[in-house]
Amino acid sequence: MFLMFLAVILAIILFAGLVCVRYLADEAGRKKFYGMVATVDFAIILAATAGFIFRQIIPPTVVTVFGNAATIILMSQLVCGVLVIAAVIFRAIYRHFHKPVIFSRTRRKAILKGALFYPVASLSTVLYANQYERENTVDRFFDIKKKNLPPELEGLKTAQISDIHLGAYFSLERLENLLNRIVAEKPDLLAITGDIFDNEEMNPAAVKIVDAYTDKFKYGIYYCHGNHEYHRGIAAIEKYLSETNIKWLVNRAEKVVGNLYIIGADYPRSAPVIKSGEDSERDELFKLQKKECIDKALENVPEDAVIILLAHHPEFIDDGAERNFLLTLTGHTHGCQFGIFGLPLFPIFKYTRGIVENGESVGYVHCGNGSWFPFRIGCPPEVAYFTLKNSD
């Protein structure tokens, strides 16, 4: 499924590049540029494939430089294609309601000169998304209200980060800077909802860095696994975690204060790559595994407990609502990394970004702190803060 989705995206990018050539180049240059676009795109795809196969021996710096360059080239094509197609549609609508303009070579040359706007605007947009937005974290604050909230929980503040994806696009230094930023806001605890330890060489140092911050939060740091931890040596990661003060929750609960409990769900191996609904057999298994995770985590939790659920996959929000959990914190989607007016541009998950309310239960899908690839636009990395308040 994921490879098919990736193939479709690459095909769209290639098509966008060819559309740009069709409308922005003159007749003499089209054939040459068609071949150039196709050659560059296929060269990038082949180099990326070879890099994936031989990733164990390729220096991280090479991955970073190539990844940024490839992203800038391919995404510039895509953005340019979108702008050109929008202009063509607008022109067609305009011509439908106006008399056709008589052909003029002088006018044709002026139009081609004006066509430089599209690649320049596209490159500027992509450089902003690659070099600025994905590096600039925003803070988001939410009040979580509950009737008859115990006095000792009033004002308790939880910070959440997710999907850091340590590696070529997120360094250990950046991780430490992020933790310092959070400490400055003085939350009572930090929740990490998976996909942080995503590089076998960096993971040992990353665990130590996170552990060094546990005493900077009144109630410590809580963590649950994401799917990428299973790709990066889960046994080794759990060994490192066992030697720390990080409260790592794999289908278990931790009492925080009063009757507040944080429970953590493991990442079900049957979880869909994008969203459920495509495979009924797998969907049923996924629902069963989610239920088993939560049932196990609740074994020693009193019935009157106020519960915050940490789970990587956003569809755990449904389980939190069914059990009337106060708050369910998830990640996994990266908010889709493309947004417009605060909404995901491609909502390919059941829940892709932000707050999900269901009765008195609230779910949250974190936009992530790292990236699938080095590009974010309208969807910056974030730190989410949740303050408990009495609704009476």
Per-residue model confidence (pLDDT) at position 104: 52
Secondary structure (DSSP) of 88-156: HHHHHHHHHTSPPPPP-HHHHHHHHHHTTHHHHHHHHHHHIIIIIGGG--EEEEEEEEETT--GGGTT-
How many residues are recorded in the chain? 392
Write down the residue that tokens 């790709």 correspond to: 231
Per-residue model confidence (pLDDT) at position 22: 82
CA dist., res. 182 & res. 381, Å (int): 13
Per-residue model confidence (pLDDT) at position 34: 87
Using alpha carbons only, how large is the chain's radius of gyration in Å?
A: 24
Q: Return the higher-pLDDT residue of 3 and 38.
A: 38
Whether the predicted pLDDT of 105 surpasses 60: no
Whether the predicted pLDDT of 276 surpasses 90: no
The per-residue pLDDT of the chain, averaged, comes to 91
Strands (E), the chain: 138-146, 157-161, 189-192, 221-223, 247-248, 252-257, 260-264, 306-310, 327-330, 339-340, 343-344, 354-358, 361-365, 382-390
Per-residue model confidence (pLDDT) at position 57: 83
Mean pLDDT of the 213-222 span? 98
CA torsion angle 311 266 158 148 (round to 10):
80
Per-residue model confidence (pLDDT) at position 113: 54
Per-residue model confidence (pLDDT) at position 220: 98
Per-residue model confidence (pLDDT) at position 72: 96
Q: Return the higher-pLDDT residue of 98 and 65.
A: 65
Mean pLDDT of the 307-329 span? 97
Mean pLDDT of the 53-62 span? 82
Per-residue model confidence (pLDDT) at position 114: 65
Percent of the chain scored above 70 by pLDDT? Answer: 94
Whether the predicted pLDDT of 265 surpasses 70: yes
Per-residue model confidence (pLDDT) at position 342: 87
Q: Are 18 and 37 in contact (CB under 8 A)?
A: yes
Per-residue model confidence (pLDDT) at position 40: 92
Q: Return the higher-pLDDT residue of 95 and 192.
A: 192
Q: pLDDT confidence of 86, banded at 50, 70, 90?
A: confident
Mean pLDDT of the 6-31 span? 82
Q: Which has the minimum average pLDDT: 51-65, 176-190, 308-322?
A: 51-65
Whether the predicted pLDDT of 85 surpasses 80: yes
**Pick from 259, 265, 355: which is nearest to 307 by CA?**
259
Per-residue model confidence (pLDDT) at position 181: 98
Q: What are the pLDDT digits (tens) for 227-252?
A: 999 999 999 999 999 999 999 999 99
What residues have CB less than 8 Å from 352, skipping those under 6 apart? Answer: 314, 333, 335, 336, 344, 365
CA dist., res. 109 & res. 103, Å (int): 11
Mean pLDDT of the 327-338 span? 96
Per-residue model confidence (pLDDT) at position 208: 98
Mean pLDDT of the 179-191 span? 98
Q: pLDDT confidence of 277, banded at 50, 70, 90?
A: low
Q: Return the higher-pLDDT residue of 114 and 40.
A: 40
Q: Is 323 helix (H, G, I), strand (E, B) or coil?
A: coil
Q: Return the higher-pLDDT residue of 30 and 345.
A: 345
Mean pLDDT of the 317-324 span? 97
Whether the predicted pLDDT of 60 surpasses 90: no
Per-residue model confidence (pLDDT) at position 296: 97
Q: Which amino acid is at 159?
A: A
Whether the predicted pLDDT of 154 surpasses 70: yes
Q: What are the pLDDT digits (tens) for 349-373?
A: 999 999 999 988 999 999 999 998 9
Q: What are the pLDDT digits (tens) for 112-152?
A: 556 788 899 999 999 999 999 999 999 999 999 999 999 99
Q: Which amino acid is at 273?
A: V
Q: Which has the minimum average pLDDT: 4-18, 282-296, 312-326, 330-344?
A: 4-18
Whether the predicted pLDDT of 193 surpasses 90: yes
